Amino acid sequence: MIIESTKSYKNQDVDKIFFRPSFSGKSAEELGIRVLYNMPMPTTVHVWSRPDNVLQPFASGWDGGESATKYQKTINMRKVKAETQFSADDYFSLVFEKIVGSSDVSYQDLTGTELEKAETELFRQAIVEGIRSTMWIGDISGIVSDTTTFNGFFRQILNMDEDVAALLIEDEASIPAAIEMFKSCWDNATQELKSLRSEGELVYFVSSDVYNRYIDELEQKGTDSAYLDTINGHQTLCYRGIPVVEVPLGHYATKRFSTFCMLTDRRNLVLALNTSDMPENEVRMWYNPDEMENRQRACFLVGADVIDQKLVSIYYSKF
């Protein structure tokens, strides 16, 4: 069977149906970083630096110290488009699989809101994954990876190489234990980064191999808790109270950062999305009879940046 109906979304529908459910509220929190969605253009991050000592001896009159200073950084956003295509048979199977559990679905009358929801969800998942991976490994120059739509966090870190507390892994044989990476990142972190620990937003972002290596190291401890975690699995991982978050990039071709462990503040990594300030803003799904395939396309603005290089400490491969 073939799904031939054309669906086109513009303006508020693009926001409400495709992007806001995935990049605001709880969904944004699950990305583990700071998400700025549909902020006024150009999208600018404001960071206030409070004075170190505001206490003064009590006396009449005004004896205030230095004013709080404001630091601004504009997120460089680029126009991008997301496109997918499927053979008509494959597309029908994928869409129908998402709605087969509904009691009122019929092969003879596969129309209406259930079909639209299934098509929407299929494309939305592809968009989210594309943005998630590119915000890490995207590089317009192609140095980090072949994903070149916009620059991701690793590209920004390379740009800051002299300022970021970075430890390099020269070859695969020299990859240290996960616990050693965590400790080294902490030891090499700036005082500005360490001082943020009390605010509860520090995190270790790690590659899948480091994450799995840490699990192995914990399970080798020989304690009752290690035994139970081996049986039941590890719900959350931490190192000295700081969460360890896996960044799965295993099936993406990265030229650098195949192994990494990065200590930073979640709020220091920013993803900016805008679907309202772009004339070409549109999501469209249609059937191409010449090629007998279903196609999907979305156009929007997106960018990612590391706000302050002093708040990054990273251990990464460069081979």
How far is C-alpha 16 from the chain's CA centre?
A: 20
Mean pLDDT, rounded, for 95-107: 62
**Alpha helices, DSSP H only, in 14-172?**
20-23, 25-30, 88-99, 113-137, 153-159
Q: What percent of the chain shows pLDDT beyond 90?
A: 31
**Which tens digit of pLDDT belongs to each residue from 32-76?**
888 988 887 788 887 656 556 666 777 776 666 565 555 678 888
Mean pLDDT, rounded, for 251-264: 87
CA distance 197 to 194: 6
Residues in the chain: 319
Is the pLDDT confidence value at 313 over 90? Answer: yes
Preceding peptide of 176 cis, ω within 30° = no
Q: Residue 114 burial (CB < 10 Å; 0-12/13-18/19+)?
A: middle
DSSP state letter for 84: E
User: When comparing pLDDT for 98 and 121, which is higher?
Assistant: 121
Give the pairing type, strands 260-265 and 202-206. antiparallel
CA dihedral 230, 234, 240, 241 (to 10 degrees): -150
**Which tens digit of pLDDT belongs to each residue from 8-27?**
888 788 888 888 888 877 77
Q: What confidence score (pLDDT) does residue 224 get?
A: 58
Mean pLDDT, rounded, for 152-160: 88
Q: What is the mean pLDDT of the chain?
A: 82
Is the pLDDT confidence value at 131 over 50? Answer: yes
